[in-house]
Amino acid sequence: MTTRSAIRLCAWLPALVLATVASSTPALAALGGDVSSVQKDRARFKASLQLSPTAHYSVHELRAPTGTLIREYVTGNGRVFGVTWQGPWRPDLRQLLGPYFADFQQAANAKRTGRNGPLSSRSSRLVIEMSGHPRAFQGRAYVPELVPAEVAEDEIQ
Amino acid sequence: MTSPRERRVLTAVLSIIAVAGCGGSDGANAGNNGIAPPDGANVVPIVVDSGPRGANGAPVGYVNGAFVTITVCIPGTANCQAIDHVLVDTGSSGLRLLANDGRAGGELSLQLPPLQDVGKNAVAECFQFVDGFTWGQVQLADVRVGGEMASGIAIQVIGEAAYPVPGQCLGVGNDEDTLEGASGLLANGILGVGLFVQDCGPACATDPAVAGSGNPGLYFACSSSASGGCVETSLPTAAQVSNPVSRFATDDNGVIVELPPVLAAGAATASGSLVFGIGTRSNNGLGNAVVIPVDDRGTFTTLFPGQGTRYPVSFIDSGSNGIYFLSSAVTGIPTCTGGSGIDSFYCPPSPLTLSAANQGAAGTPTVPVTFSIANAKALFDSNGAAFSNLGGQSVGSSSAHLPAAFDWGLPFFFGRNVFTAIEGAATPGGAGPYVAY
């Protein structure tokens, strides 16, 4: 019934990265940006960071004190190709989606029935899904053209 | 629009009607069998229709919106205003009303006193919905719904222009501070009668300046209307925007949404009841409804299909206008084509009857549910407003890390009495939070 990927989470090799807060300079985008932007997100969200490498990408997991969990999926050559979030409240999506924030806004505005249901939008530039209600939100976004060929889209979770 | 004097008279009349209506019948299952709706001071009519009138004089075209009329008053006075087409939302907590300030296009023109912090700064809020936010000042009101009143509670007045939207707020989604427009509310307000006492809770009472604070930054202290004049702040739970039901003098432990069945082709309107209290009177007993406890996020587990795959973080939400679940890739149900923003809705060639089960957050009970999904394009094209079989895609991943959820929106409510019990409140079915049907 479900389309599950061959590469499973249990294959991950978790490793804790002892990172320092990079800077307090204006943050750059995460999605579509290079791996250094993860550090900017970490600073913005005041989050702890855990890094999980896999064969074709690494997952940078940011846990904010608000209880919101953010995952950023980074290619072997350092591009952020997908982000997910779940928690009681949404993170700053302008920060997390960067140049794709406008694509999100456009997708949300295109919904037939306005604001009254989840967002499920797929374009060649951005796939974005958002669901939930106050105190339990979740979502994911990825850039199809940046997803490595070996990676199933369902792995972005 | 009514003058303040007319409003006072109207309010007085409404109060008399409310007091006179205290008979009460056992209407707990009225939504299922079409017997007379419940009456009493704890009952207010729900209408499902095309929504309030927009700028062109025609209804805004809401689909599956359950609306009530509420009255807000300057606290302790008879200076009141009735607001129609306020959306009944069991998925959030707190009352939010659109201002009548030109841009917002709402009805609220009554000047309510602002909530101020200890430094006399105005308190404003950036509240989050599924892909957008509402921004506006927190103000104080006596909130009357039917014969019930919550005295001097904090509500959010959306769209009043005193303070520009802070940057942090713009980042969490689309601006929903208008009646119409692409991300407009399509309602004059939202009556959040959900599972929680406050809209945010203890997290928003912590100091955001302290390292490691879990404050999500919903509340702001506004010292000026200049850019940057509003900064994230803490707000004690007692002062936060609160579920009005939790602040009623009686019938304060939850609500029942009672809606009749509608035909498979849909209906232009449907009429039901919003009943306050669970087991507090003869008209609001649990009856045969089964209690499904939820976790501290307000979620439970849906099993689908049948009693198959588990989908945690599922929820029942009268403020969602469809049953939203999974994706076409997972369900095999085709989505709609033809644009107009309907391509995330399901469009099966013929109506489907599906089986699922809802399971309490701790694993019990497991309650079967059957539901129907019809062709959304055909439903929209019919120009109806009440559909029991409208559904669409949600977050499609089914993994344990980003769990897929069933969003049981208003279609689920037709032909059922759906109970929402508030966190910590005692009821004959145990303490909230829970849902029951």
Residue to substitute from B402, B412, B423, interface A, most A β-carbons within 10 A = B402
| Beta-carbon separation of A84 and B402 below 8 A | yes
Say what the pLDDT of residue B16 is: 33
Q: What is the pLDDT of residue B393?
A: 94
SS3 (DSSP) at A115: coil
Nearest CA to B178 out of B319, B49, B55 is that of B55
Which DSSP string do the residues of B186-227 spell out, in sequence order? SSSEEEEESS-SBSS-GGGGS-TTSTT------EEEES-SST
For chain B, domain boundaries: 4-247, 287-436
Please report residues of B whose CB lies closer than 8 A to that of A26. Answer: none
Residue A25: CB partners within 8 Å, gap ≥ 6?
none
Domain at B287-436, CATH class: mainly beta
* Interface residue B384 vs chain A (CB under 8 A): no
B354 CB-contact burial (10 Å; exposed 0-12 / middle 13-18 / buried 19+): middle
Q: Which of A93, A112, A154 sits opposite B380 (nearest CB)?
A: A112
**Range of the structural domain that residue A132 is part of:** 26-148
- Looking at residue B9, its pLDDT comes to 35
In a domain, A21, yes or no: no
Q: Which residues contact B226 (CB under 8 A, 6 or more apart)?
A: none
**What is residue A115's predicted lDDT score, i.e. its pLDDT?**
57
Banded model confidence at residue B5, pLDDT cuts 50, 70, 90? very low
Q: How far is B16 from chain A (nearest CA, A)?
A: 36
- Mean pLDDT, chain B, rounded, equals 90
Q: Is A16 exposed, middle or buried (0-12, 13-18, 19+ CB in 10 A)?
A: exposed
Q: What does the block give as tokens for B192?
A: 């959040």
Residues 6+ apart with CB under 8 A from B268: B49, B50, B383, B384, B385, B386
3-class secondary structure, A142: strand
Tell me the nearest-neighbour CA distance from A7 into chain B, angstroms: 12
The overall average pLDDT reported for chain A is: 79
Tokens in use for B252? Answer: 């304060």
**Number of CB pairs < 8 Å for A and B?**
200
- Comparing C-alpha atoms, which of B414, B62, B65 is closest to residue B265? B414
Please tell me whether residue B387 adopts helix, strand or coil conformation. Answer: coil
Mean pLDDT lowest among A52-61, B196-205, B254-263: A52-61
Residues of A in contact with B340 (CB under 8 A): 112
Contacts of A131 in chain B (CB under 8 A): 130, 324, 394-395, 405, 407
Which B residues 208-247 touch A at CB under 8 Å? 211-216, 218
Least CB–CB distance from B131: residue in A92, A108, A112: A108
Tally of domains within chain A: 1
Q: How far apart are CA B116 and CA B127, in angstroms?
A: 18
**Fold designation for B4-247:** Cathepsin D, subunit A; domain 1 (2.40.70)
Give the helix/strand (H/E) hosting B308.
none
Q: Is B270 in contact with B63 (CB distance < 8 Å)? A: no
Q: Is residue A13 part of a domain?
A: no
Judge: B128–A2 Cβ closer than 8 Å, yes or no: no
Burial category of B271 from C-beta neighbours within 10 Å (exposed 0-12, middle 13-18, buried 19 and up)? middle
A51-65, B201-215, B216-230, B411-425: least confidently modelled range: A51-65
In chain B, what residues touch A120 (CB-CB under 8 Å)? 327, 344, 392-396
CB within 8 Å of chain B, chain A residues 64-103 = 65-68, 71, 84, 86, 88-95, 101
3-state DSSP assignment of residue B140:
strand
Nearest CB to A108 within list B168, B183, B213: B183
Terminal-to-terminal C-alpha distance of chain A: 18
Residue closest to B95 by CA, chosen among B51, B127, B61, B53: B127
Amino acid at A134: P
Are A115 and B184 within 8 A, CB to CB? yes
Contact between chains at B330 and A3 (C-beta distance less than 8 A): yes
Q: State how far the Cα of B437 lies from the Cα of B29, in Å rounded to an integer.
A: 10
Question: Is the CB of residue A26 less than 8 Å away from at least one CB of chain B?
Answer: no
Check residue B404 and give its pLDDT: 86
Residue B264 banded pLDDT, cuts 50, 70, 90 = very high
User: Of B122, B93, B98, B123, which is closest to residue B108 (Cα–Cα)?
Assistant: B98
Residue A133 has pLDDT above 70, yes or no: yes
Q: Is A135 on the interface with B (CB under 8 A)?
A: yes
Q: Using the beta-carbon criterion (under 8 Å), do A157 and B173 form an inter-chain contact?
A: no
In a domain, A87, yes or no: yes
Residue A125 has pLDDT above 50, yes or no: yes
pLDDT of the residue at A52: 81
- Over residues B89-123, the pLDDT tens digits come to 999 999 999 999 888 999 999 999 999 999 999 99
* Residue type (1 letter), A137: F
Burial of B78 (0-12, 13-18, 19+ CB in 10 A): middle
pLDDT in tens, B323-351: 999 999 889 999 999 777 899 999 999 99
Q: Are B432 and B254 in contact (CB under 8 A)?
A: yes
Q: Does the beta carbon of A134 lie under 8 angstroms from any beta carbon of chain B? A: yes
Considering only alpha carbons, which residue of chain B is nearest residue A89?
Answer: B216
Q: Is A157's CB within 8 Å of B64's CB?
A: no
Residue A107 inside a domain? The answer is yes
Q: Look at residue B243 and tell me whether its pLDDT is greater than 80.
A: yes
d(CA B48, CA B342): 21
